[in-house]
Structure 1
Amino acid sequence: MGDWKTTDGLPRGRRPRALSPLREHLRDTFWFAPTAALVLVLVVWMAASAADDAILTALRDAGDEEAVSDLLGIAEDAKTVVTTISAAMMTFIGVVFSISLVAVQMAAGQFSPRVVRIFVRSRITKATFAVFLATFVQSLLVLTSYDSQRDPALVSSIPLIQSVLTLILVGLSVILFVMYVNSTLRLMRIAHVVDLITTEALRVVTRMPLDISAKEPVGPGPSPSPDLGPETARFAHHGRGGVLRDIDIARLVRMARQHGVVLRLVPRIGDFVVPGTPVFAVHGGPAPKGLRSLGFQVSVGAERTFHQDLGFGLRQLSDIALRALSPAVNDPTTAVQAVDRIVQFLSSVARRPLGAVLHRDRQGTVRLVQPVPDWTELVDLGFTEIRVYSVASPQVTRRLLAGLDDLLAAVAEERRAPLVRHRTLLTQAVERAVPEPADRAFALHPDRQGIG
């Protein structure tokens, strides 16, 4: 569909796709890819079996019994290989599963429990597991196709194409296994983990529509903006309690356009909602009965996701830094790497309108208002806890001061106040905690590498 544009030519972001929430939810599951692979391999096996039967029938119709005998000999040789593959693939599957569990356990213990979803969403892990299972199932299906007859004139099935497909799957499994080990080793390195988190967080920013009229947060009052009209109704959450993961933006915009109203999401993505929590407010007209299905456009789960959650990336980066600053870990270099990415993320949103996202229909009319964190909230999320727990680490305080200075130089005047506040509080905390003037001066010297 292309990107939307504002009247001044600025990109407003990509129009949300109707299946976007479903796609993201499937990415957060581990069962879909293996299940799809098993269904696909069953279909391929049936097609290959039909092709093998067609080849055997064609040769017999042509009276070429010698060719049938040759094919039978090749198939018997392939049967030994397929039998070996069938026994070995379960061992490979166990190895992959064991490596994944160890990697997840190490990541959760050293980085943060929130990063486990990176392993769950890893495409190469899912592809490896799916192809290994598919190869195992394919080998079993091929073995069932072998005929016990040894006489070429009596044999009813020669699974030649099926055996070739099994060998192709084995080759693909070997390649994927090498790629999987390489990917898993990268995911166990903190630099790669924080890079993935930042990439996901920045992807949320690029998908967020840019609307110049959405500069301030939309409050919970009855009339948050004159453009929306008076609030006429509210719809409460009636499902299970949990974290608001995402909403179906495209469908909500379409429903609001059909009924001639404006919908406002009351909680933010990432908020915990319980039955009875107001979720949507209707503005600009009476609430038709057709909007009773709004509850089906909301996804509630056990944990936050990146899909539409602007602050989730900062939450994960802050958690990694806090874990690194804990006495049990004492790894200030990891905290500095997390601060690097926090500064990068804040720089990317420094000049964007925040507080609320306005989703428009094709005619440019606002149909859905989605609250998002404003600039002050993002700055507080990124720096508050790290600032409090980093006072005893000059490497981190130096990096924090350098990052705050860089952001102060990049943002507009009206957005400097929270940055100045954090810089002042950090300076005061270090002055109170560090008694020696030389150490204090060292800890308060801005350095983008912390301590080189």
Structure 2
Amino acid sequence: MQLLSSKWIFLACQQMRRLWFRASLYCLVAVITALLSALVDERIPGTLATFVGADSVGNLLGILAASMLTVATFSLSTLVASYSAAASSATPRATRLLVEDSAAQNALATFIGAFLFAVVGIIALSSGIYGNGGRLVLLLVTVIVVALVVVTLLRWIDQLLNLGRVGETVRRVEAVTCEALLQRACNPGCGARLQLDPPTEGFEVRPRSVGYIQHVDLGSLQEFCEELDCRVSVLAMPGCAVEPTRALLRVSREPDDDSAQRLRDAFVIGSERTFEQDPGFGFVVLGEIAARALSPAVNDPGTAIDVIQTGLRLLVFWAENGHKDENPEVSFPDIRVPPPSESQWFDGLYTVIAREGAAQVEVMETLLRSFATLERLQQEAYREPLRQQVERALRFAQARMTHPDDVQRVRDSAPSLPGH
């Protein structure tokens, strides 16, 4: 699967993840279903409708409308409370995963859609557009809607038991980060050619706004290169902070104003980072969760240890999968992109844990043992970041720990790295 799709598909997917989109879609289907029942009225024998008892559909719709409004209101208030709990106990950056959770959106959309279906059905019944056959069809559809609501409600109750918990938040961050790592492992250059060293030649194109790169449309950049017979070196990949003094890319031919704007339009710049194409953001969020757990107000070293183990799993996964394809598929031959930065991943996850947990021996032991595990993987990309993190962790521990035995325990847990 291609990591970077077109800009418009990316923006459309961003909107489709919002709660209003799914709820609106369910409501539209509900309204259409309620109104279509009147169109098949003449095809259903009236005696069959009387025998089944289709006249009771009005009472059933009334019960459904009243109950669904209550359930939807309760579910929405529960979601808001869960978001607040996740923001206070974990990190506000992780609440986006809860907001975009498909199970929560499906539940709310089902409840709201069922409510609107019942309201439209009641209005249609009161206006007299249904005959006996239409009432029978409406009754059958209502029974299906009730069954769907029951199944959704049971799943939603199970979901509510974990929603907003720190452990569940860590699990979600791990899952989305692992998916981003897998996509990058399948194609490290995102379809372009990798460029290990930053380019020094070419003409810079700079943004006109401040924010984070959320998406780069490499397809449009390739079209630009083919039309103007040039090459482009991308300097800012998803996750990079940009502002008007930092170049987005370098192009081999000097672009005019229109061409420069066209190049800028290939970049989606937002006010916050996203998880999907930015593995580094997942490591940053995990580090923030651990820092919150280690704060004096929370004092939960167990969560910090869980985060360290989660980060270790992710880095082991990348070590096993991220460097296997020596000849990745190149779909954009005129585009150069920088390789993934493992050093930034280490900084985003471990620096804050080493600083905030420096006084707690169990946290520092777990941290340095995870470094020892990563050192045994013999990954060249990990060697320098590991050396820096080990030295930093030992300095923090020596400065913050008061008992010599604790300092020695931490030193004994540290890996022996060349030059250390």
**3-state DSSP of counterpart to 2:103:** helix
Contact kept, 8 Å, 1:111 with 1:323, in 2: the verdict is yes
| Percent of aligned pairs with the same amino acid | 20
* 8 Å contact kept, 1:324–1:330: yes
> Which residue number corresponds to residue 278 of structure 2?
309
Higher relative contact order (CA 8 A, sep 6+): 2
The verdict on how the C-alpha distance between 1:95 and 1:443 changes in structure 2, with shifts beyond 3 A counting, is same
Q: In structure 2, what is the Cα distance between the partners aligned to 1:55 and 1:186?
A: 48
Quickly say closer, same or farther: Cα 1:123–1:344, change in 2 above 3 A. Answer: same
Confirm whether residue 401 of structure 1 aligns to residue 380 of structure 2. Answer: no
Counterpart in 1 of 2:392? 425
**Which residue in the other structure is 2:85 paired with?**
106
Contact residue 3 and residue 277 of structure 2 kept, 8 A:
no
- 1:305 deviates by 0.6
Choose the corresponding residue for 2:36, options 47, 71, 94: 47
Distance in 2, matches of 1:386 and 1:157, equals: 67
Of residues 52, 69, 85 in structure 2, which corresponds to 1:90? 69
Contact 2:216/2:237 (<8 A) preserved = no
CA distance in 2 between partners of 1:424 and 1:171 (Å): 60
Return 5+ residue gaps in structure 2 as ranges: 415-420
Equivalent in the alignment of 2:115: 136
Q: 1:244 aligns with which of 213, 218, 225?
A: 213
Q: Against the structure 1 CA distance between its residues 15 and 397, is the aligned structure 2 distance closer, same or farther, given a 3 Å change threshold?
A: closer
Following superposition, the deviation at residue 376 of structure 1 comes to 2.3
Task: Tell me the amino acid that sits aligned with residue 274 of structure 2.
Answer: T
**How far off its partner does 1:206 sit?**
1.8
3-state SS in 2 of match to 1:299: strand
Deviates more, 1:174-183 or 1:104-113: 174-183
Output the CA distance in 1 between the equivalents of 2:100 and 2:302: 27
8 Å CA contact 1:305–1:312 kept in 2: the answer is yes
Q: What's the secondary structure of 1:305's corresponding residue?
A: coil
Question: Quick one: structure 1 residues 429 and 15, their matched pair in 2 at CA, closer, same or farther if it must change by over 3 Å?
Answer: closer
The range that moved more, 332-341 or 31-40, is 31-40
Instruction: Give the residue type in structure 1 aligned to 2:25.
Output: A
How far apart are residue 384 of structure 1 and its match? 1.3
Deviation, structure 1 residue 322: 0.4
Equivalent-residue separation in structure 2 for 1:79 and 1:373 (angstroms): 60
User: Secondary structure at the residue paired with 2:194?
Assistant: coil
With normalisation by structure 2, the TM-score equals: 0.85
Worse-superposed segment, 202-211 or 81-90:
202-211
Q: Structure 1 runs of 4+ off > 6 angstroms?
A: none
Counterpart of 2:194? 214
How much is the aligned-residue C-alpha RMSD, in angstroms?
A: 3.2
Q: Do structure 1's residue 262 and structure 2's residue 250 form an aligned pair?
A: no
Q: Which position in structure 2 is the counterpart of 1:32?
A: 21
Deviation at 1:431, TM superposition (A): 3.1
Matching of residues 118-197 of structure 1 within 5 Å: 118-146=97-125, 158-197=134-173
Q: Aligned pair in 2 of structure 1 residues 214, 425: CA closer, same or farther (>3 Å)?
A: same
SS at match of 1:366: strand
Name the aligned partner's letter for residue 175 of structure 1: V
Shift of residue 385, structure 1, vs aligned partner:
1.6
Displacement after TM superposition at 1:323 (Å): 0.4
Indicate whether 1:377 and 2:344 are aligned. Answer: yes
Which of 320, 323, 340 is matched with 2:292 structurally?
323
- TM-score when normalising by structure 1: 0.80
Give the superposition deviation at 1:413: 4.8
Q: What's the counterpart of residue 418 of structure 2?
A: none
Larger radius of gyration: 1
Change (3 A) 1:434 1:276: closer
**Residue identity in the other structure for 2:114:** T
Distance 1:398 1:22, change over 3 A: same
Q: 1:156 to 1:198 in 2, by over 3 A?
A: closer
Hey, which of these two has a bigger chunk of helix by percent?
2
Check 1:252–1:39 CA distance in 2 against 1; reply closer, same or farther (3 A cut).
Answer: farther
Find the aligned partners of 2:306 and 2:401 in 1 and give their Cα distance. Answer: 24
CA contact (8 A) 2:212 2:272 kept: yes
User: Does the 8 Å contact 1:198/1:341 carry over to 2?
Assistant: yes
How big is the shift at 1:83? 0.9
SS in 1 for 2:188: coil
Which residue of the other structure, out of 11, 25, 28, is the alignment partner of 1:22?
11
| Shift of residue 215, structure 1, vs aligned partner | 6.7
2:56 counterpart of 1:80: no
In structure 2, relative to structure 1, the CA distance for the partners of 1:76 and 1:243 (3 Å cut) is same
